[in-house]
Amino acid sequence: MAVIVQLKSGSWRAQVRRKGQYASQTFLRKCDADDWAVQAARDIDSGKTPSPRVRAAAKNTFGSLIDMHLDDLADTGKPLRRSKEAVLRRLKEDIGDLAVGDLSKQKLVQFGRRRAKEGAGPATLAIDFSFIGTVMTNAAAVHDVVLDTEQLRLARYALRRLGLIAKSIERDRRPTSDELGEILHYLDTAPRVIIPMGRITRFAIATTMRSEEIHKILWAERDTARKTVLIRDRKDPRKKEGNDQVVPLVGFTGFDAWELLEEQREWTRVRDRCFPYNHKSSETAFRRAIEALGIDDLHFHDLRHDGISRLFEAGLAIEQVALISGHKDWKQLKRYTNLRPETLHGLPNKPLVINAPKKPSRESTNAAALPANVVLLHTRRESDAQPS
């Protein structure tokens, strides 16, 4: 039995169930879906496995590959988020009409040059080509579309040599002490302000939270005994949903997160959310303050950089900072760490503790050969501790 259904993207999906076997393929045109379904049924009747669909290049476009990719994600319950879907939508507008067989190095390089002239930076163009590669790989792996991925690799190489594709520049902007003082004074004293932006700004630095995370904290998910809050669905590139994290509210950054939340309770009273405002409105209010003060190139998200850096400058270990910031590993956390050299002078002069191997050599235990600030810890067996 064959079932042909039209998907939201406009593509057609053919499903065949026959003699206990099931096969499914997606097509741009309904007539192609009908033809494949008939042939798949014949293959099953003759004891064969239904042959995979190999799309003819002249009849299909890159836009159809994008539609298939979106349909596959929707089927698996993993639809793209808004920003990534916007990239694919833009690609479909730009090169969606390009035939699959015309995805040549020359055409892809032309697309890259055109995007660069329109104002797309090297990092943006790198994202575009990453998505092109994802769509092509999905079409080849899942739908058996014959593609020449070598052309994409060569196009990337050419655009990289031309300086049109590059990794994003890691941002290291932090507000200076003077800038932060001006910002907080402005936000605390600005007339006709409904949102307590001074408190939100301090809380952002103290907790290293993103704006959206701050504004969805619930009073019901605050633990007064442990001084923690629960952040639901915290941003994680590897886990889009269900990444709930318990975050300690500490005071190592110069601002006490728990005290700030207690102050906020007097402000919100009976409302469910601790900061019952639209996070975009808060970001807009912060941006307007920056513009009014004439401070150059500072965003609300830079407060996260500042908070994480302050935690390291306070002497916290990587795993302790990650517990607050929500990062999974050092590579991710490193991007947000912009330490100031002068802050090292304020750290205590503690001895460096090194765990020695179980059987240290005579040279390694020579105290004269070790730096004066190193304390060497040896592990001793019980038999070694017995008097001879």
- Indicate the pairing of strand 245-248 with strand 352-355: unpaired
Can you tell me the distance from the alpha carbon of 335 to that of 369, in angstroms, rounded to the nearest whole number? 37
Q: Which of 96, 108, 94 is nearest to 157 (CA)?
A: 108
Cβ atoms of residues 150 and 157 within 8 Å:
no
The SS3 assignment for 325 reads helix
Identify the pLDDT of residue 78: 72
Identify the pLDDT of residue 348: 57
Topology (CATH) of 177-346: hpI Integrase; Chain A (1.10.443)
Identify the pLDDT of residue 361: 46
Q: Where in the chain is the domain with CATH 1.10.443.10?
A: 177-346
pLDDT per 10-residue tile (average), the chain, 388 residues: 78 80 77 81 77 46 87 76 85 90 90 93 91 90 81 93 81 89 93 88 95 94 93 74 85 94 83 91 94 94 92 87 83 67 57 42 42 38 40
Identify the pLDDT of residue 274: 93
Can you tell me the distance from the alpha carbon of 184 to that of 352, in angstroms, rounded to the nearest whole number? 38
Tokens at 325, concatenated = 């910031």
Q: Where in the chain is the domain with CATH 1.10.150?
A: 59-161
Cβ atoms of residues 308 and 325 within 8 Å:
yes
Tokens at 15, concatenated = 């499903």
Cβ contacts of 103 within 8 Å, gap of 6 or more? 62, 136, 147, 148, 151, 152
Position 250, amino acid = V
Identify the pLDDT of residue 346: 60
Q: Which of 286, 306, 304, 294 is nearest to 187 (CA)?
A: 286
In angstroms, the Cα distances linking 40 to 17, 37, 298 are: 10, 5, 59
Q: What angle do CA 158, 66, 59 make, to 5 degrees?
A: 90
Q: H-helix or E-strand containing 18?
A: strand 12-18
Can you tell me the distance from the alpha carbon of 239 to that of 81, in angstroms, rounded to the nearest whole number? 12
Q: H-helix or E-strand containing 86?
A: helix 82-95
Identify the pLDDT of residue 1: 67
CATH class of residue range 59-161: mainly alpha
